DNA sequence: TAGATTGTTAATCGATTAACAATC
DNA sequence: TAGATTGTTAATCGATTAACAATC
């Protein structure tokens, strides 16, 4: 996982957010019937501005598109993946094997994003020693040892809100570099630790805003 | 759930994304010891620009802040919640009671966001008739009837990617207004249906970008 | 009062969109 | 060639930040 910041100076955060959508769209195409695709088509299908899509694709694509024919789908998929850093693999552990933790452990799709979840931790003695998707559950005491020996870079927090800060502290002491936090809590971590929050409240607020506007119109 | 678009003309999308973080921060404060708080303090704690926080709070707060003392924490929490539309309640159903679906069904916190998940649907005969967090699982055939009689506005899709479009079509035919999609798929829905994607690939791409920059620095 | 903090107006910055030349 | 599409340069738009007056 390594985003090509060097090449194109204009790697906007916004563009980064749109890339996964391009990828989903391109991967849903039938590769035998659709060999090439234009930025225009993608823009229309996704409801985006044509020039915006063209700039985004130009930033990600190594060989660029061709006038008249557009971009080669296969190449473009490969380039966007590389642009998003899905080629390099990071090792991760999950803290908290409740239902959400189990769901993430069992999800096969992370491999494609360069995320390799190798183990989990939980305090529940009934879960310790079990495996989910062939990934073992360890007691929290083993965190420092396992994170260091398996060279874990990312800790994924899926414990209930009240234990999230503890989990964060434990992970920090275990030498990880980044935290992906699914608990609805603002974590306090040393500045060198990267914290990315998966905040469902944001999605929900945006959805609810659109919905309220829509329902008002119906009256 | 109804965002106050009318009052303040400058309801930026970006501000909407920051609001949930303010809320988490404010709710973590001890209400007996911290009665008032300044935008300056919040900005420092969250690593944001002071003026930005002040503008955001001005947009959400009804009574505004006071020079010297700042905002009353309790009032501010209430105002931001109302601003985000957490006061109005929307009814939702979950399609797909795998681990992710079960996790969402069991999560108690959605009530605070104005989301009331009242039922679930699954094709698995072993799950049909069961309850999770007192919410019953029905077979998909019952979707139109139940969604209409319970006045469901939101459908939450937590089925595997390959069934997500089917689930979307079913929900649309059942008269729902909005879809919250957790499957890594671009859904095709009629334009009047609001689709909000919970795309973990975006979070992961952002995290991986930061991480790659960080790891490069260490060399 | 003095000064911390608010809220607003103006300046800057970044992202989007429009216009257009280059190219296969 | 003609024309669809790319990629770039310039204009616009929106969001952030800076400067400052108002206020408790």
Question: B132 with B155, same domain?
Answer: yes
Distance CA A136, CA A215 (A): 47
Cβ pair B194:A207 closer than 8 A:
yes
The pLDDT tens digits of the residues spanning B82-101 come to 999 899 899 999 999 999 99
H-assigned helices in chain A: 13-28, 39-46, 50-60, 73-83, 99-106, 143-149, 161-173, 200-217
Structure tokens at A207: 């959805």
Nearest to A194 by CA among A86, A92, A80: A92
Report yes or no on B207 lying in a domain. no
Q: B132-135, long-range: CB within 8 Å, 24+ apart, which pairs?
A: B132/B97, B132/B102, B132/B105, B132/B106, B133/B105, B133/B106, B133/B108, B135/B94, B135/B105
Question: A97 with A197, same domain?
Answer: yes
Q: Between the CA of residue A68 and those of A43, A72, A77, A200, B25, what are the distances in Å?
A: 16, 12, 19, 42, 52
Mean pLDDT to the nearest integer, A128-157: 97
pLDDT band at A33 (very low <50, low <70, confident <90, very high): very high
Residue at which a domain ends, from B67, B83, B99: B83
Considering any atom of strand D, list protein residues whose CB lies within 7 Å. Answer: A 38-40, 51, 54-55, 57-58, 61, 64-71; B 10, 12-15, 48-49, 51-52, 55, 66-68
**Nearest residue (CA) to C1' of C17:** A51
Question: B123 with B150, same domain?
Answer: yes
Distance CA B157, CA B196 (A): 10
- Of B13 and A61, more confident: A61
Question: B72 with B136, same domain?
Answer: no
Report yes or no on A217 lying in a domain. no
Residues 9-48 of B with CB under 7 A from strand C: 38-40
**Is residue A157's pLDDT more than 80?**
yes
Mean pLDDT to the nearest integer, A44-70: 95
A160 CA to D13 C1' distance (Å): 42
Rounded to the nearest angstrom, the minimum Cα separation between A199 and chain B is: 8
CA B38 to chain centre: 26
**Bases of strand D lying below 7 A from some protein CB:** 3-9, 14-19, 22-24
Please give the pLDDT value at position A2. Answer: 40
Question: A26 with A128, same domain?
Answer: no
Question: B79 with B138, same domain?
Answer: no
Residue at which a domain ends, from A83, A98, A131: A83
Boundaries of domain holding B156: 90-201
Mean pLDDT to the nearest integer, A122-127: 97
Q: State the residue for tokens 């005491």.
A: A141
How many folded domains does chain A comprise? 2
Nearest to B123 by CA among B178, B173, B160, B172: B160
Report yes or no on B218 lying in a domain. no
Question: A128 with A77, same domain?
Answer: no
- Of B125 and A2, more confident: B125
Please give the pLDDT value at position B12. Answer: 81
H or E stretch covering B217: helix B200-217
Specify the range with the lowest mean pLDDT, choosing from A9-18, A40-49, B22-31, B187-196: A9-18
Q: Return the CATH number at B105.
A: 3.40.50.720
Q: Return the CATH number at B41.
A: 1.10.10.10
DSSP structure string for B138-181: E-GGGHHHHHHHTT--EEEE-S-HHHHHHHHHHHHHTT-SEEEE
Report yes or no on B164 lying in a domain. yes
Cβ pair B212:A153 closer than 8 A:
no
Mean pLDDT to the nearest integer, B186-206: 93
Question: A197 with A99, same domain?
Answer: yes
Mean pLDDT to the nearest integer, B201-209: 91
The overall longest dimension of chain B from CA atoms, in Å, is 62
Please give the pLDDT value at position A213. Answer: 82
pLDDT band at B187 (very low <50, low <70, confident <90, very high): very high
pLDDT band at A10 (very low <50, low <70, confident <90, very high): very low
pTM across the whole model = 0.93
**Packed helices A200-217 and B13-28: angle between N→C axes, nearest 10 degrees:** 130
Task: State the average pLDDT for chain B.
Answer: 92
Question: A169 with A129, same domain?
Answer: yes
Question: A124 with A149, same domain?
Answer: yes
A60 CA to D24 C1' distance (Å): 54
Question: B75 with B159, same domain?
Answer: no
Please give the pLDDT value at position B11. Answer: 66
Specify the DSSP class assigned to residue B131. E
Cβ pair B186:A28 closer than 8 A:
yes
Rounded to the nearest angstrom, the minimum Cα separation between B182 and chain A is: 11
Report yes or no on B215 lying in a domain. no
Report yes or no on A105 lying in a domain. yes
Q: Which of B56, B160, B185, B208 to mutate to test the interface with A (most CBs of A within 10 A)?
A: B208
pLDDT band at B1 (very low <50, low <70, confident <90, very high): very low
Mean pLDDT to the nearest integer, A30-39: 96
Question: B180 with B129, same domain?
Answer: yes
pLDDT band at A212 (very low <50, low <70, confident <90, very high): confident
Please give the pLDDT value at position A3. Answer: 42
**Is residue A172's pLDDT more than 70?**
yes
pLDDT band at B40 (very low <50, low <70, confident <90, very high): very high
Residue at which a domain ends, from B34, B58, B83: B83
């Amino acid at each position: 996982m390594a985003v090509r910041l060097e090449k194109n100076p204009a790697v906007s955060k916004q563009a980064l957010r749109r890339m996964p959508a391009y990828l989903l769209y391109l991967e849903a195409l039938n590769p035998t019937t659709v060999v090439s695709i234009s930025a225009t088509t993608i823009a229309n299908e996704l409801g985006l501005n044509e020039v915006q899509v063209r700039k985004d694709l130009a930033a990600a694509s190594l060989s660029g598109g061709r006038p008249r024919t557009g971009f080669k789908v296969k190449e473009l998929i490969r380039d966007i993946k590389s642009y998003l850093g899905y080629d390099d693999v990071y090792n991760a552990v999950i803290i908290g094997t409740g239902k959400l933790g189990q769901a993430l452990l069992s999800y096969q799709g992370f491999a494609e994003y360069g995320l390799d979840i190798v183990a989990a931790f939980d305090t529940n003695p009934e879960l310790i020693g079990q495996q989910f998707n062939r990934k073992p559950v360890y007691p929290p005491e083993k965190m420092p040892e396992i994170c260091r020996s398996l060279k874990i870079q990312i800790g994924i927090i899926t414990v209930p809100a009240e234990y999230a800060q503890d989990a964060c502290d434990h992970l920090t002491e275990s030498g990880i570099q980044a935290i992906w936090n699914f608990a609805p809590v603002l974590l306090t971590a040393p500045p060198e630790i990267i914290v990315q929050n998966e905040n469902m409240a944001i999605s929900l607020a945006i959805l609810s805003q659109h919905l309220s506007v829509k329902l008002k119109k119906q009256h």
